Structure 1
Amino acid sequence: MTAAVSQHDPKASAATADSREQDNAAPLMEIRNLYKRFSLSGDFLEQLKFKGGKLVREQEHVHAINGIDIDIRRGEALCVVGESGCGKSTVARTVMGLLSPSKGEIHYDGQRIDHLSAKELLPFRRRMQMIFQNPYASLNPRMTIQQTLEEPIRLHHPDWSKERVRDQVRDVMDSVGIDPDWGSRFGHEFSGGQRQRIAIARALAVDPEFIVADEPISALDVSIQAQVLNLMMEAQQQRNLTYLFITHDLAVVEHFGTRVAVMYLGMVCEIAPTGTLFAKPRHPYTQALLSAIPRLEDDRPQHIRLQGEVPTPVNLPPGCVFHGRCPHANERCRQEVPALIDVEGGARVACHGVEEGRL
């Protein structure tokens, strides 16, 4: 079956071969049965209500992440895609420890980190850095660029001399194409693309090995997006970085990603090498998602129009979260939550139809 994929796209065959080679290596990041929910009910007193003459406690939650399992391999760029509100950014922030998981475990380089205190997590902070979505909000307006880049270095290397810190800042500025003369200026003096270069430099300043990028180019002009993407790819090659790249732009995924995880309503419905996913998507939602990409080819498949509305994450539907919009759903889909299963091409799919051979 893998050979059939390679006939469609040689890149898919190469990606599949790479995935087989990496399967034997221990992943850098392991996410296991991860859940994150946010309360909508306020404090304890606000949750108390009278119903039928009785005092009852009612709680409502937004179920942002609903039991995802993902391995991130060393040196790869794992892209997480999905429509707005599917939980992509929540995954990024939970992995980085900015949010605490409601349930599940996160392991980094073989060690569990989701339950560590801020002090215990500090050594991992240097190895794990984040690039935020909005370059206009992620830089402190009261700090010069020099101060912004020096701050993480001084935090993680308090024993370094001033000269060594300045040398490190100069080196990282050169590596991302920033003029060292910018150091005395403030963030508001730069364009969006320049600010995002500064944000990337800040992430690279402490020589991390793992970077979470939460839609780092979505706030930029299209003409600047390619420059920032190429900069991140060059940094990956030069520094052997591992990326968790959050995006909704499938064209970026095809260009940048090693593997792709497709999310829908807080769950991973398919994860596969990039070439395999674009050549032969298996999950009905992935097929609909990829059919929406504008193409110039005459023989491209017809656009798949999904019926119905996206369910609310406050009241999740039973069974498969996609069954209300899936044209292939049956009674099992409405009752039983599908698990990720291995299919050809190094992919994993959470779909009863694929498991039963109906799709």
Structure 2
Amino acid sequence: MTSPLVSIRNLEKRFDLSGGFLEQIQFEGGRFRRKQEAVHAINGVNLDVNKGEALCVVGESGCGKSTVARTVMGLISPSAGEIHYDGQRIDNLGGKAALPYRRKMQMIFQNPYASLNPRMTIQQTLEEPIRFHHQDWSPTQVRDKIHEVMHSVGIDPDWGSRFGHEFSGGQRQRIAIARALAVDPEFIVADEPISALDVSIQAQVLNLLMDAQESRGLTYLFITHDLAVVEHFGTRVAVMYLGRVCELADTKTLFAMPRHPYTQALLSAIPKLEDDRPNHIRLQGEVPTPVNLPSGCVFHGRCPYANERCRQEVPQLIATDGGAQVACHAVEEGRL
């Protein structure tokens, strides 16, 4: 086994809700108390992204998948844990030390209407990262590189003098992909890059990403909530629930034989035409708040297989016979 390109170890992220020190002081029961609250967005995530693969992270809204993406890219500082790129720890780097990794790692954002600067032409948008990372390049080299990436994503180079508002959502997302490819990265984080697009355009953008992966040898961390996209695009899948990874498997294994109760419920919700498909699993209760996380397994309040151990002890990812990794006491004990 080769070492992973990106390695995430015991990653945690908390967003403080308490405000300043004076705002945390409260008078209760005849005495002053300091009350601190935080959103526990990520809670001990461990993931490896192997070179050349597309690792998809799925889960419902609020599960922490986009926070993982932004933390890996350095847009958010982790509260705990480590992030390694090609064996080098990068979450503690800053300034010039981080520059080589800024070029190797690029991100495609969810909303193409917000990710492009409305004051910059497409030419300026694509020029900016190239001039920043290749300050010794001549204007001719910069222009040739811009034309090359625009052709590779199906954009006419003559569009360079126009502004972002003159394009449709699909065209803007192609421009955003061209911006990410302009510095020849090795690793791309795609944070729900097609969710804001029309269904008719989604397949075009997905195929563009797959073609770029094949021609450029790219590695993807792909964040999505669309399981049909995962089945078509992903090499492996990590399923998240309330800031934790509950199952990790290759795509075929996960869709053919999901093991975690939450994954089973998630996949049962996919609309299918077959008459013999299993009945839709309806989970009871609501998703707990990430401010006050439940003890033990974060899913135990909605799980039909939960017992006392599930309520007290946090499950860890364990390998199963099918090659998947599952964080579930019921699977470990043979009850499921």
Distance in 2 separating the partners of 1:50 and 1:91: 37
Report what 1:293 is aligned to: 270
Secondary structure class of the residue paired with 1:270: strand
Report what 1:184 is aligned to: 161
Secondary structure class of the residue paired with 1:345: coil
Report what 1:103 is aligned to: 80
1:301 alignment partner AA = P
Select which of 303, 323, 343 maps to 2:280. Answer: 303
Select which of 228, 239, 245 maps to 2:216. Answer: 239
Deviations 1:191-237 (A, max 9, x none): 00000000000000000000000000000000000000000000000
Report what 1:351 is aligned to: 328
Distance in 1 separating the partners of 2:208 and 2:95: 31
**Structure 1 residue 66, shift from structure 2 partner:** 0.3
Report what 1:73 is aligned to: 50
Report what 2:318 is aligned to: 341
State which drifts further: 41-50 or 289-298. 41-50
Distance in 2 separating the partners of 1:346 and 1:97: 31
Asked whether 1:264 is paired with 2:251, we answer no
* Percent identity over paired residues: 82
Select which of 20, 24, 27 maps to 1:50. Answer: 27
**Structure 1 residue 103, shift from structure 2 partner:** 0.3
Report what 1:17 is aligned to: none
Distance in 2 separating the partners of 1:57 and 1:98: 30
Unaligned runs of 5+ in 1: 1-23
Deviations 1:134-184 (A, max 9, x none): 000000000000000010000101111111011000000000000000000
List 4+ stretches of structure 1 deviating above 3 A.
none
Give the TM-score taking structure 2 as reference length. Answer: 0.99
Distance in 2 separating the partners of 1:52 and 1:123: 55
Number of residue-to-residue matches in the alignment: 336
Select which of 174, 188, 192 maps to 1:215. Answer: 192
**Structure 1 residue 56, shift from structure 2 partner:** 1.9
Unaligned runs of 5+ in 2: none
Report what 1:19 is aligned to: none
Select which of 121, 130, 146 maps to 1:153. Answer: 130
Distance in 2 separating the partners of 1:73 and 1:177: 28
RMSD across aligned positions (CA): 0.6
**Structure 1 residue 345, shift from structure 2 partner:** 2.8
Asked whether 1:60 is paired with 2:37, we answer yes
Report what 2:173 is aligned to: 196
Give the TM-score taking structure 1 as reference length. Answer: 0.93
Distance in 2 separating the partners of 1:88 and 1:42: 25
1:28 alignment partner AA = L
**Structure 1 residue 346, shift from structure 2 partner:** 2.2
Distance in 1 separating the partners of 2:205 and 2:263: 27
